[in-house]
Structure 1
Amino acid sequence: MSSFRAIRIDKDANSSTAAYVEMSEKDLMPGDVELDVTHSAINYKDGLAVTGKGPVVRRFPMIPGVDLAGRVTHSAHGDFRPGDIVVATGCGLGESHYGGFAQKARVNGDWLVRLPDSLTPARAMTIGTAGLTAMLCVLALERHGLSPADGLSVVTGATGGVGSFAVALLASAGWRVAAVTGHAAEAEYLHSLGAGEIILRESLASPGKPLQTQRFAAGIDTVGGVTLANLLAQTQFDGAIAACGNVGGMDLPTTVAPFILRGVSLLGVESIRPRIALRRAAWVRIATDIDPAMIDSMMEIIPFDEALERASTIVTGKIRGRVVIEISHA
């Protein structure tokens, strides 16, 4: 197929516009692996890109879609050959390099991971950047030497994408998990993921003392700000918090007290850089540790024809769970 269908964002002097277009394979950006994209997913970043409500796109024109899965059709990379089923997340996709909202992609092979046999492309896209980030946080805590025997773990923003996967992954690894949420009605959902205790967000939302009663051996924080400061103040000796989000603000209103008086560690986690060996290890663990039935319960599959409209709605909070795009090549 020399031409393919895509959602493309174009920009003029005043605004950006997203629309379905026909493109040629010669329009694809440089890379050593070409693939037929079979699935993508709608992330909040994609909604910002499509609507122009956030500075996500770094060059125009751009094909959005920060996550993609597909079948390799041509490879000049030693790790891949035609027919391989692969997944890519982050790495500038949908921001500075054409992403997953298209039938075709050409990417750097160092961004790709061969999908474990136990994961379908649709399930991989349900996991996507959110699940990968959560797994990278779990691996960071493990590299720090922490284990379930050390005590209680905590996850903030627990009903969000990263938070939900973090609860499930920690519980699967044997941790007792306290899930922090602003919605008491979500308790049943969080218990179904493996949370043993529910903490209301309000209890961590106000500034507190630099050192508070020790509660947590480990944590995954998706919020930042005052919430993270309180987690650090409540972390026990030699514990650690893996931080990967900032919806609560970029500032961290704390002191050195937790670090120098209790030996607490703050572990920064990002999921943008390739770091292919770490990504491969993370996807293997994800495939092993997450119950497929739980993945399926979070998944809604839509056809490519509905992707543009649905991507526009995520910024208004009208999407629940994970919306996976099935991209037909008929």
Structure 2
Amino acid sequence: MTAFQAFRIHNDANGYRGGIETLQADALSPGEVLVKVAYSSVNYKDALAGTGKGKILRQYPLNGGIDAAGVVVASTSTAFKEGDQVLCTGSGLSETRDGGYGEYIRLPSSWTIPLPQGLSLRESMILGTAGFTAALALVRMEDNRQSPALGPLAVSGASGGVGMLAIDIFTRAGYQVHAISGKSAHFDFLRSLGATECIDRHQLQFSGKPMDSARFGGALDNVGGAMIAGLLPLIVPYGNVAICGNAGGIELDSTVMPFIIRGVSLLGVASAGTARDLRDQVWQHLASDWKPRHLDRIATQEVSLEQLPQVFDRMLGGESFGRTIVRVGNI
């Protein structure tokens, strides 16, 4: 393998910085599967890592990018052979090992997912960690007896990548979705993805009561803080609230009443460390019965490695919309 390009992040005596570098194969983190990367994606976590505005990396230097999809070029694992199309999300990428912002990546075979039939490499990265998180939330909810009969699912932070994909995925799975967003200019777009109702976060007033009239069969909360506290009293008996974000704060000011009177369940969704068997289950759903119908519309931007710093700044400034995918190599 010849030298290749990567967006590499350092934190040393010269300060915190990230940029394009030329690397050799021996610089990559170890793993049984060597992959030529075709696509990655940009998540909020990537923007924090790439700029140093969040403590994401646990060692330095590393290539950024928590998602990767490409083609196997070499493998010492009997599970994979040259030419196989594969993907990986989370699993320590851009935290403890090199991530997807490089033309090549080495992966442990235990974290490498064969690209499911029904998805292209590009589609898998439009989904990426965001789509995986939304689908994982629904798996967890349905494992706890969530069903469309309980009523609509609320999705907070609906204008973000996870929120948009959740609308599309939940609708595909047979649910009505009520989208909650502070960006009312995007409501028509959210309806086009399948939302049956759009609720302006700025006009959403919670009563503050421990219990209120049930309004939602369940919810996926991307916001945290006051949002999750306000949603819990509005969930029907034995509905589920899955939480996967904290853009609105890490505090939870609530009471036990929704839990002990209505049997509401609060489910944590941590996609990065998901067990392999559950990963396979989620990706099979995403490639088949839960595959979003509007992936090309949700992918609003495709960029190169060189354009990443500008993308990070826009995302951290609240100016991004939809999913940004990164074209890493020509495959």
Secondary structure at the counterpart of residue 219 of structure 2 = strand
Q: Which residue of 2 aligns with 1:328?
A: 329
Contact kept in structure 2, 1:112 and 1:276, CA below 8 Å: no
Mapped partners of 1:311, 1:249: distance in 2: 21
Alignment RMSD (CA, Å) = 1.9
Q: Which residue of 1 aligns with 2:316?
A: 315
Shift of 1:275: 0.9
Mapped partners of 2:328, 2:107: distance in 1: 18
Match runs of 1:1-330 below 5 Å: 1-13=1-13, 15-204=15-204, 208-289=208-289, 294-299=294-299, 300-328=301-329
Amino acid corresponding to residue 315 of structure 1 in structure 2: L
Shift of 1:101: 0.7
Mapped partners of 2:193, 2:2: distance in 1: 44
**Bigger Cα displacement from structure 2, 215-224 vs 202-211:** 202-211
Amino acid corresponding to residue 27 of structure 1 in structure 2: A
List runs of 5+ in structure 1 lacking aligned partners. Answer: none
Amino acid corresponding to residue 227 of structure 2 in structure 1: T
Identity, % of aligned pairs? 39
Contact kept in structure 2, 1:207 and 1:226, CA below 8 Å: no
List runs of 5+ in structure 2 lacking aligned partners. Answer: none
Mapped partners of 1:24, 1:67: distance in 2: 21
Mapped partners of 2:53, 2:88: distance in 1: 24
- What per-residue deviation string (whole Å, max 9, x for no partner) do you get for residues 183-218 of structure 1? 222221111111111222135565711101111111
Shift of 1:319: 3.0
Amino acid corresponding to residue 75 of structure 2 in structure 1: S
Contact kept in structure 2, 1:110 and 1:274, CA below 8 Å: no
Mapped partners of 1:45, 1:293: distance in 2: 26
Contact kept in structure 2, 1:7 and 1:308, CA below 8 Å: no
**Bigger Cα displacement from structure 2, 232-241 vs 308-317:** 308-317
Contact kept in structure 2, 1:243 and 1:269, CA below 8 Å: yes
Secondary structure at the counterpart of residue 122 of structure 1 = helix
TM-score (norm 1): 0.94
Mapped partners of 1:135, 1:293: distance in 2: 14
Secondary structure at the counterpart of residue 190 of structure 1 = helix
Contact kept in structure 1, 2:150 and 2:236, CA below 8 Å: no
Contact kept in structure 2, 1:157 and 1:181, CA below 8 Å: yes
Shift of 1:83: 1.2
Amino acid corresponding to residue 320 of structure 2 in structure 1: I
**Bigger Cα displacement from structure 2, 227-236 vs 49-58:** 49-58
Shift of 1:123: 1.3
- What per-residue deviation string (whole Å, max 9, x for no partner) do you get for residues 251-279 of structure 1? 11111111111111111111011411111
User: Moved runs in structure 1, 4+ residues, more than 6 A?
Assistant: none
TM-score (norm 2): 0.94
Amino acid corresponding to residue 107 of structure 2 in structure 1: V
Mapped partners of 1:191, 1:320: distance in 2: 15
**Bigger Cα displacement from structure 2, 110-119 vs 125-134:** 110-119
